[in-house]
Structure 1
Amino acid sequence: MANASDEFRLASSGIDHEGRLPRKYTSEGQGAKSGISPPLEWYNVPNEAKTLALVVEDIDETEPNSSLVPWTLWVVISIPPNLKGLPEGFSGKEDKTGSDYAKIKEGNNDCKVPGWRCPTMPSAGHRFEFKLYALDDEIDLGNKVTKEKLLEAIDGHVLGEAVLVAIY
């Protein structure tokens, strides 16, 4: 049986001790402190992993007919498995050349734009699910990366999943 400290896991220093996502990471933050992607750290990536991919969804988003539909906030692919995390405000940073982050690609969210996009919440208490996939092979999704294309491409290539849920 694996020890919990050996488990592939995802964490964020930006989420408070009650598991809440602060306002600055949403569209309801103040000015420049609005819509910033939260910092993420991960631990115990499977040794065989060739790449990591991240999907963040509001799993309590509702459509007008009240059926629950996950709303995609962020899709990130081609994360080198040797990285230990993504810094706060990583999304949308243009100058990644020559760095460990150079290969990372941000896909389109459900607002049809690349990067972190947290919509204005119609009500409090929404759960945001951050899911990090460890993959046994590199994936190429072309120029337009979406959650749907990613999930289709990684079928059969997932070595592990690390999940973090925050409440807003």
Structure 2
Amino acid sequence: MKLTSSAFVDNGLIPAKYTCDGADISPPLTWHEIPSETQSLVLIVDDPDAPGMTFVHWVVYDIPPTVKQLPEKIIGSKNIPSGGVQGKNDFGNLGYGGPCPPSGSHRYFFQLYALDQKLSLATGASKSQIIREIEGHVLGKAELIGRYQRQH
């Protein structure tokens, strides 16, 4: 599986427009080489460099396997137009919350999981709920890392 963005390269800098210093909109994402048995996809975006904990920026689950991308600027609603349910991020909101590191350069892990089932969790599920549910059901995983440091 491969996960890419037209906005930044793997291990590259995330443009400010996708952060709290810009429009704070979700970046465009594209994936391919999904296993043929995939029943749903899960996207988790988090920051392991956050002070004291891994900070969750975006959770989307039950994405249909026919969907091959998420366009820029997915709004923070329960469902996304192409299919998929949005979970709650650590800002306490549904949908995407962009990078906003308090200090230094942070890494943001965009992780896409192919599953052999749909999760059917309620809207607003947390990353921890999803991680529990996907255990034993992951057919493949792709990762894209972006970096961001605020210009104070």
Same fold (TM over 0.5): yes
Q: Secondary structure at the match of 1:126?
A: strand
Deviations 1:101-120 (A, max 9, x none): 1x311100011111101253
CA contact (8 A) 1:59 1:71 kept: yes
Structure 1: which 5+ residue stretches go unaligned? Answer: 1-7, 64-68
2:29 alignment partner, one of 19, 40, 50: 40
Higher alpha-carbon deviation: 13-22 or 76-85: 13-22
Question: Normalized per residue, which structure has more strand?
Answer: 2
**Larger CA Rg, structure 1 vs 2:** 1
Counterpart pick for 1:54 among 40, 43, 47: 43
> Counterpart of 2:129 in 1: which secondary structure?
helix
Count of aligned pairs: 148
Asked if the contact 2:6/2:29 (under 8 Å) is kept, the reply is yes
Q: TM-score, normalised by structure 2?
A: 0.90
Query: CA separation of 1:39/1:51 partners in 2, compared to 1, >3 Å: closer, same or farther?
Result: same
Q: CA deviation at 1:60?
A: 0.7
The one-letter code sitting in structure 2 at the alignment partner of 1:117 is: G
Change over 3 Å in CA distance of 1:36–1:152 after alignment to 2? same
Q: Distance in 2 between matches of 1:17 and 1:61?
A: 19
- 1:84 to partner: Cα distance: 1.2
Q: What aligned pairs does 1:64-83 form with structure 2 within 5 A after superposition?
A: 69-83=53-67
Match of 1:129 in 2: 109
The secondary structure found in structure 1 opposite 2:37 is: coil
TM-score between the two structures when normalised by the length of structure 1: 0.82
- Who is 1:3 aligned against? none
1:134-145 to structure 2, matched below 5 A, reads 134-145=114-125
Is residue 157 from structure 1 mapped to residue 141 from structure 2 by the alignment?
A: no
- Quote the Cα distance in structure 2 between the aligned partners of 1:90 and 1:139: 21
- The offset of 1:124, in angstroms, is 3.4
Report the RMSD for the aligned CA atoms in angstroms.
1.9
Query: Which 4+ stretches in 1 moved above 3 angstroms?
Result: 93-96
Contact 2:47 2:55 in 1 (8 A): yes
Q: Secondary structure at the match of 2:13?
A: coil
Query: 1:50–1:17: structure 2 CA closer, same or farther, 3 Å change rule?
Result: closer
The answer to whether residue 17 in structure 2 is matched with residue 24 in structure 1 is yes
| Residue type at the aligned position of 1:153 | E
Unaligned runs of at least 5 residues, structure 2: none
